[in-house]
Amino acid sequence: MVERHDTIVIGGGQAGLAMSYYLQQHDREHVILERGRIAERWHAERWDSLRYQFINETIELPGLSYKSADPNGFAHYTAVAQFIESYAAHIGAPVLERIAVTSLRHEDDYVLETTDGVARARNVIVATGPFQDPMIPMAGRDLPRSLYQVHAANYRGPQELPPGAVLVIGSGASGCQIADELQQAGRSVYLSVSRHKRVPRRYRGKDVLWWFEKMGRFDVTIDNFPQRRYPPSTIITGVNGGYDMDVRRFARNGGRVLGRLLASSDGQLATGDDAAEILGEADKTYDEFISAARISAARFESSGELDPDDHRPPAPVVMEIDGIRTVDLAAEGISSVIWATGYRFDYGWIEIPVFGSQGAPIQQRGVTASPGLYFIGLHWMHTFGSAFSPMWAETPLT
């Protein structure tokens, strides 16, 4: 039996549910198809200790805010998943769970092949998020099969790893948090770094998110960057009450820092001589943030919002990074590799030519060249704030 809807939203996470809220505000008939449970990735692809990276008072979706006794604390990921589920019930979102869309094509309408039959719609909104296909570089295929390997999406905690040293590849937020966790658990840890930005967790008594808003960082658009490619990720954490993340501190505490992974052969890793350069760039972004925050602070000095005794950021960690170029996995006792190397888009099921050479959708504020086909919930979909504010869900439908 063929079902037809005005609008079908693909994905029952926070982006798809926020879209449902606005569709209801405009009396637009729609249904949400979710391949698993509501907030499936929050349930299935988070490690045990993970906490939301921004303070509790910032957790909200259109029409509902997260309630917490500690507005400046950091919610465990399970609490975020529960909030998203409660939000779906709160707005009465028409979610059909455990129905995966296997293909999408355009005829007179959009035609969706699903695991529960065929559906048609005048409009389709793809809300499957940016974390789709865990990416492991080609070099991973050449590692010894005896190594335990897991992507950050499937890592759960130190207890799952066999005895021995651990190599974490990638120093975005996930890689740095996992490396810290393993080090605090007493593991010997090697970290192969990649480009990242570093900021203080708090400055002048305010969380970094507060400063991002006051400095206009959320309003920076993707069009400011060459080829509309967004910049490196910013490393922050909400674990242990939230603290400043710094690879140099990890090194000072005994971690071994490597450059980018270049190749692997016969149990030998070749890494780039770029670790010091990468950390130097991260230090620069930290200093630039502090300088910008100091300028912005002048607007709030008289209001009493800022801590008057917190003018100086923490003293920088002084730790020179040596240029390790090769690593013998067996000699170093490395038994596990964790790939914190990000994700690829997985839109092979969409049979409509709206993608660029790297597989990302070609869109402006979520609108594609195919009338009635939209995307939401992407990193830097329009601005830096696109990933944080629910207001981007107001994509106008034709």
pLDDT digit string (tens) for 120-165? 999 999 999 887 889 998 888 889 989 999 999 999 999 999 999 9
Helix, strand, coil percent values for the chain (each to nearest 5): 30, 25, 45
Range 62-66 average pLDDT = 95
Grade residue 229 by pLDDT with cuts at 50, 70 and 90: low
pLDDT digit string (tens) for 181-190? 999 999 999 9
Q: Which CATH architecture does the domain made up of 3-132+345-393 adopt?
A: 3-Layer(bba) Sandwich (3.50)
Q: What pLDDT, on a 0 to 100 scale, did the predictor assign at position 391? A: 37
Q: What pLDDT, on a 0 to 100 scale, did the predictor assign at position 306? A: 85
Q: Please determine, for residue 77, whether its predicted confidence score (pLDDT) is greater than 50.
A: yes
Every domain range in the chain assigned CATH 3.50.50.60: 3-132+345-393
Give percent above pLDDT 90 in the chain: 71
Give percent above pLDDT 70 in the chain: 92
Distances (CA, A) of 290 to 44, 235, 279: 36, 15, 17
How far is the C-alpha of 158 from the C-alpha of 130, rounded, in Å? 26
Neighbour count for residue 90 (Cβ, 10 Å): 14
Residue in 19, 59, 11 with CA at minimum distance from that of residue 38:
11
Q: What pLDDT, on a 0 to 100 scale, did the predictor assign at position 233? A: 87
Report H helices in the chain: 14-25, 40-44, 77-91, 173-184, 208-214, 247-252, 275-297
Grade residue 310 by pLDDT with cuts at 50, 70 and 90: low
Q: What pLDDT, on a 0 to 100 scale, did the predictor assign at position 361? A: 92
Grade residue 311 by pLDDT with cuts at 50, 70 and 90: low
Q: What six digits make up the tokens of 318?
A: 């002084």
Q: What is the largest CA-CA distance in the chain?
A: 68
Higher-confidence residue of 229 and 200: namely 200
Report H helices in 137-189: 173-184
Residue in 169, 185, 163 with CA at minimum distance from that of residue 334:
163
Higher-confidence residue of 377 and 371: namely 371
Q: Please determine, for residue 232, whether its predicted confidence score (pLDDT) is greater than 90.
A: no
Q: What pLDDT, on a 0 to 100 scale, did the predictor assign at position 390? A: 45
Q: What six digits make up the tokens of 94?
A: 């028409």
Q: Please determine, for residue 370, whether its predicted confidence score (pLDDT) is greater than 80.
A: yes
Neighbour count for residue 66 (Cβ, 10 Å): 20
Q: What pLDDT, on a 0 to 100 scale, did the predictor assign at position 160? A: 96
Q: What pLDDT, on a 0 to 100 scale, did the predictor assign at position 392? A: 37
Grade residue 389 by pLDDT with cuts at 50, 70 and 90: low
pLDDT digit string (tens) for 251-293? 999 999 999 999 999 899 999 999 999 999 999 999 999 999 9
Cβ–Cβ < 8 Å for 223, 39: no
Cβ–Cβ < 8 Å for 339, 143: no
Cβ–Cβ < 8 Å for 393, 375: no
**What stretch of H or E contains 257?**
strand 256-258
pLDDT digit string (tens) for 15-58? 999 999 999 999 999 999 999 999 999 999 999 999 999 999 99
Question: For all residues of the chain together, what is the average pLDDT?
Answer: 90
